[in-house]
Amino acid sequence: MSTNPRRIAALTSAALAFAGLAVLAPSAHAASPVDIQIIGSNDFHGRLQNETGSLVPGAAVVAGAVKQLRTENPNTIFAAAGDIIGATLFDSFIDKDKPTIDAMNEAGLDVSSVGNHEFDKGYDDLVNRVMKPYDATTNPQGGANWQYLGANVKMASDGSDALAPSWVKTVAGVDVGFIGAVTEELPSLVSPDGIAMLDITPIVAAVNQEADDLKAAGADVIVLLVHEGGQTCDDVALPTTPFGAIVAGVNSNVNAIISGHTHQRYDCNIDGRPVVSAGQYGTYLDKLVFTVDADTGELLGTTQSILQLKAANAGPFNYPEDTATAAIVTAAHDAAATLGSVKLGEIAAPFARATFATDAENRGGESTLGNLVAEVQRWATSTPERGAAQIAFMNPGGLRTDMVGDAGPFPKGITYAQAANVQPFANTLVNMDLTGAQIKAALNQQVQPDAASRSFLRLGVSKGFEYTYDPDTLTVDRMWLNGTPIDLAATYSVTVNSFLSAGGDNFSAFAGGTNKKDTGMVDLQAMVDYMDEFANTAEGDAPLPISYRQQAIGVDFPDDAPATYRAGSAHVQFDLTSLSMTEVGAVTDDNVTVRLGGTTLGTFPVETVRTTPVVLNGTAKNTNDESGTASVDVVLPALTPEGTSTLVVEGNNTGTSFEVPVEVSPKAPTTVAGAVDQYTYGKEGLLKIAVSRDTADGDVQVFDANDVLVGTASLTAGRGTLVLPAKRFKPGVNTLRLEYLGTGFFAPSTGTVTFRVLKATPKVKVNVPSTIDRSEGAKVRVRVVAPDGIPVRGRVRLTVMGTAQSITARLSGGKVVIDFPHLGKLGTYRVKVKYLGSPLLTTARTIVRINLVR
């Protein structure tokens, strides 16, 4: 912290007077008020180039704007709230952000708080490369000329300042003090190993102590540069929100707050104090003007505004491009062009991050890009020497842009530079052993602590790993690997990047892994190798296909859902969420089909509406992605056995498929019996069925002795009947098997029925003359008639009663003609004609009288 100039002036005057030298008294007229202009920025992230698809103007325009504003008012200080470097694009990333450092030096950046990304490569890299003066031999990629501040960044060993807490610049006789602070979440946002020597203390206490010291030392204006922020002025004003608590807690010695971290643009005035943020990537600049009495240091007034540097995505610029900075940008681009232009392969469609309805990135959503990168890292460490990884996870904050390929239609080429822009942190891949329980714990840590700026961070997951969760509690229910349930007690080989491995982003479960092995494989190199292996179209590979399959699904049963369900009657109802990817142009499902075994239980529509940030405790935060919803209502088939049944839910377009287990209630035992009323062949019979439960319903299937279905009877109040078809069963003893199919309440059962079928009774008809001349003889015509069209087979016997004469003849077509026997005696005879029966018909007879004459 520099010494207050007025104190210096006072001391100098006293010394001169003590030496007997004349001292000029101050003018009796007060100096004119001085306008001190503070130009603020935040979260630049090395966006060197003008981006025609957005409002990002590029470093040359940022520098041109600052220089023009400085020309308009020489009493200008250019300040920032951190993340100047880190998470940069390829042109800067490939040279360790030296082009960004040079561009900000040229723009005249005076001071900045540290942001979390200043620590991407650790504290040592920040102080011994970035902040250390440039030297062509010993430090060719460092040399930031601005002052980095961090009042709440202390050495863990003794609590001393790890960075300068404040900085004062005297402008036109006005002492302007700056205090820097970084988000208290820093230990979870960078690799813990890189800042193990640091202690991040509460912001408010550190800032207030420094503000008091600055004020006591004579600072006229004090500005807080803090790498922490809100979303809108509404939540900035709420002391119950994390950033609102900082705004409310910082004491009145602080005259303005320039903030960042959340990448939002807001121009707030909270209780007379400006609280501002300039969005991201240099799209805007904060402009604060303090009118100060230079003699007294009294703050007379403050104005505030936010300056937009580009009128529209395609331009024009609202400020001139700075020639010197443009040369730095061009040189960086040219230096990176050779390596960056190497084509790695082709993609069939864009791999993108999840988005809100506003098209802004949603780190709480499952994405095609997150899942791809996780699969790349699993594949890259799948060999035995690298750990034989089964599963990999990817943090969404490590994906800095979408992988969309070159211009033109798909398939498109992917270059080294484009791949590097997606993953600019150069993390190594770390393989470890995790139990199923630790994996579940890691997934549950996607729910971030209350103080976190993002309430939920959806991990990308590798191919074959899937899970369901409760959308109300955001806790994981079940997990599968290649269709097999994850065993909580079993051990799995898991790969994450070095950031997650150390517990970054509050994923402490990964820090607890065992048998850790840093493979030395850099995440970007893993992508390069993967594209060469699977998407190198120059060597005959097909363009890399995209999968819109959801691997994390919310399953929400009603609060009053039963523990078990009665098959055949109870409705199984649940809601599904997170069925759809949310990137623009993503393929989504129109419906989902629910099956049990080979039986389709129902098809239900899917509604895909992208979510908006959820306000929690007054702060708009990104949330878990619930886009793609459906409501399921099915009834389990009556024959579903008790115990666990697994419903399979499948989307019609994306390939999404997952399981929902339900418990089927035990059923009341039953018996089934039956009886058949008198049943004559050729006539219908009636089977009466009874199930032992008086309230039983459902069906009973009836089978014959050959296991052929006879029919099905429906029960009412435990009773039912079945008509047995005529001629279905042969005369004699028959057996039926009864199969009660059961219902959701009643268990199935089996019984038998034995019954007798009676033979049908035919009629015998005889046609013969009543008088027969013995000398001529006669023909007796016999016809046997059976009921219901029963075929007549067998024989008949003609007997002349009172004689020994008897003739037996075989029927043909139920008929036969018999020659009347020769009798020696004339007279009247009784002739009996008897049908001797068949397997289907009883015996029958008739008697006729014949007069035998001469």
Between 697 and 20, whose confidence is greater? Answer: 697
pLDDT in tens, 389-402: 999 999 999 999 99
Listed range (97-101, 350-354, 471-475) with the worst mean pLDDT: 471-475
Query: Peptide bond preceding 424: is omega within 30 degrees of 0, i.e. cis?
Result: no
- Dist CA 740 CA 746 (whole Å): 9
Q: What's 45's DSSP letter?
A: T
- Mean local confidence (pLDDT), 613-618: 56
Q: Which of 307-316, 444-453, 489-498 has the lowest mean pLDDT?
A: 444-453
Distances (CA, A) of 190 to 82, 493, 534: 14, 24, 32
127 and 183 in a common domain: yes
pLDDT at 55: 95
Q: What average pLDDT score do residues 617-634 get? A: 75
C-alpha to C-alpha distance for 516 and 503, rounded to whole angstroms = 13
If asked whether residues 189 and 316 sit together in one domain, one would say: yes
* Neighbour tally for 819: CB within 10 Å: 12
* Residue 131: predicted pLDDT: 98
Statement: the pTM of the whole predicted model exceeds 0.95: no
Helix axes 203-216 and 242-249, enclosed angle (nearest 10)? 20
Query: What is the structure's pLDDT at 622?
Result: 53
What integer pLDDT is reported at residue 169 of this predicted model? Answer: 98
Higher pLDDT, 204 or 498: 204
pLDDT above 50 (res 17): no
Same domain, 171 and 83: yes
The mean per-residue pLDDT over the stretch 448-465 comes to 90
Neighbours of 251 (CB within 10 A): 13
Half-sphere exposure in the Cβ direction for 497 (13 Å, CA): 31
Look at the alpha carbons of 13, 14, 19, 22 in this order and tell me if their dihedral is positive or negative.
positive
Note the pLDDT of residue 624.
66
Q: Is 532 exposed, middle or buried (0-12, 13-18, 19+ CB in 10 A)?
A: middle
Structure confidence at residue 188 as a pLDDT band (50, 70, 90)? confident
- Assigned domain for 339 exists: no
- Round to whole Å and give the CA distance between 3 and 127: 24
**How many distinct structural domains can be found in the chain?**
5
Q: Which of 758, 784, 805 is the last residue of a domain?
A: 758
Give CA–CA dist 661/647, Å, rounded: 6
Residue 790: closest CA among 844, 721, 846 = 844
**Helix pair 323-340, 98-107: axis angle to 10 deg:** 170
- Maximum mean pLDDT: which of 613-627, 643-657, 731-745: 643-657
Residues 198 and 56 in one domain: yes
Q: What is the DSSP letter of 822?
A: P
Q: What b/e string do you get for 580-616 counting C-beta neighbours within 10 Å, with b at 16 or more?
A: bbbbeebbbbeebbbbbeeeebeebebebebbebeee
Report yes or no on 77 lying in a domain.
yes
One-letter identity of residue 643: G
CATH code for the domain in which residue 679 is found: 2.60.40.1220
Reported as a single tens digit per residue, the pLDDT across 286-337 is 999 999 999 999 999 999 999 999 999 999 999 999 999 999 999 999 999 8
Q: Is residue 470 part of a domain?
A: no
User: Of 758, 785, 809, which closes a domain?
Assistant: 758
pLDDT of residue 7: 35
In a domain, 30, yes or no: yes
274 falls within a domain: yes
Note whether residue 245 is domain-resident.
yes
Could you tell me if 219 and 263 lie in one domain?
A: yes
Same domain, 147 and 220: yes
Q: What is the CATH number of the domain that holds 505?
A: 3.90.780.10
pLDDT bracket for residue 43 (50, 70, 90): very high
Average pLDDT value over all residues in the chain: 92
More confident residue, 355 or 494: 494
**CATH number of the domain enclosing 173:** 3.60.21.10
| CATH of residue 636 | 2.60.40
Range of the domain at 580: 552-662
Alpha helices in 405-538 (DSSP H): 416-422, 436-444, 498-501, 508-511, 523-534
Query: Looking at the predicted structure, is the pLDDT value of residue 27 above 90?
Result: no
User: Can you tell me the distance from the alpha carbon of 435 to that of 345, in angstroms, rounded to the nearest whole number?
Assistant: 36
With 70 as the cut, is the pLDDT of residue 842 above it? yes
Sign of dihedral through CA atoms 528, 530, 533, 536?
negative
List the single range of 220-224, 261-265, 476-480, 754-758 with lowest mean pLDDT.
261-265
At residue 556 the predicted structure's pLDDT band, cuts being 50, 70 and 90, is: very high
Which pLDDT score is estimated for 29?
38
325 plus 352 within the same structural domain: no
E strand or H helix that includes residue 212: helix 203-216
Which strand (E) or helix (H) includes residue 215?
A: helix 203-216
Q: 187: number of CA atoms within 13 Å, CB side?
A: 16
User: How many Å apart are CA 480 and CA 468, to the nearest integer?
Assistant: 9
Phi and psi for 795 in degrees, rounded to 5? -130, 160
Residues 6 or more apart whose CB falls under 8 angstroms from that of 608 comprise: 579, 580, 588, 627, 628, 629
- Pick from 304, 203, 214: which is nearest to 254 by CA? 214
In single-letter form, the type of residue at position 196 comes to A
Across 816-836, average pLDDT: 94
Would 474 be classed as within a structural domain?
no
Q: Give me the mean pLDDT over the 403-424 stretch.
A: 92
Q: In this predicted model, what pLDDT tens digit does every residue of 198-209 receive, in sequence order?
A: 999 999 999 999
Q: Does residue 12 have a pLDDT over 60?
A: no
Same domain membership, residue 727 and residue 790:
no
Mean local confidence (pLDDT), 454-480: 94
In a domain, residue 440? The reply is yes
Q: What is the mean pLDDT of residues 525-536?
A: 94
Residues of the chain with pLDDT > 70, as a percent, come to 95
Query: What CATH number is given to the structural domain containing 842?
Result: 2.60.40.1930
**Claim to verify: residue 561 and residue 706 sit in the same structural domain:** no
| Co-location of 749 and 803 in the same domain | no
Last residue of a domain, one of 662, 680, 705: 662
- Amino acid type, 311: A
Average pLDDT over residues 138-158: 98
Peptide bond into 613 cis (omega under 30): no
Asked whether residue 22 carries a pLDDT value surpassing 70, the answer given is no
pLDDT of 23 strictly over 70:
no
| pLDDT tens-digit map of 596-615 | 999 999 999 999 988 776 65
| Stretch 771-792: mean pLDDT | 92
pLDDT greater than 90 at residue 5: no
pLDDT band at 359 (very low <50, low <70, confident <90, very high): confident
Query: Residue 356 pLDDT > 50, yes or no?
Result: yes
Whether residue 256 contacts residue 302, with contact meaning beta carbons closer than 8 Å, is answered with: yes
Phi, psi of 128 (to 5 degrees): -105, 0
302/442 same-domain check: no
Judge if 218 and 242 occupy the same domain: yes
**Cβ count within 10 A of residue 577:** 22
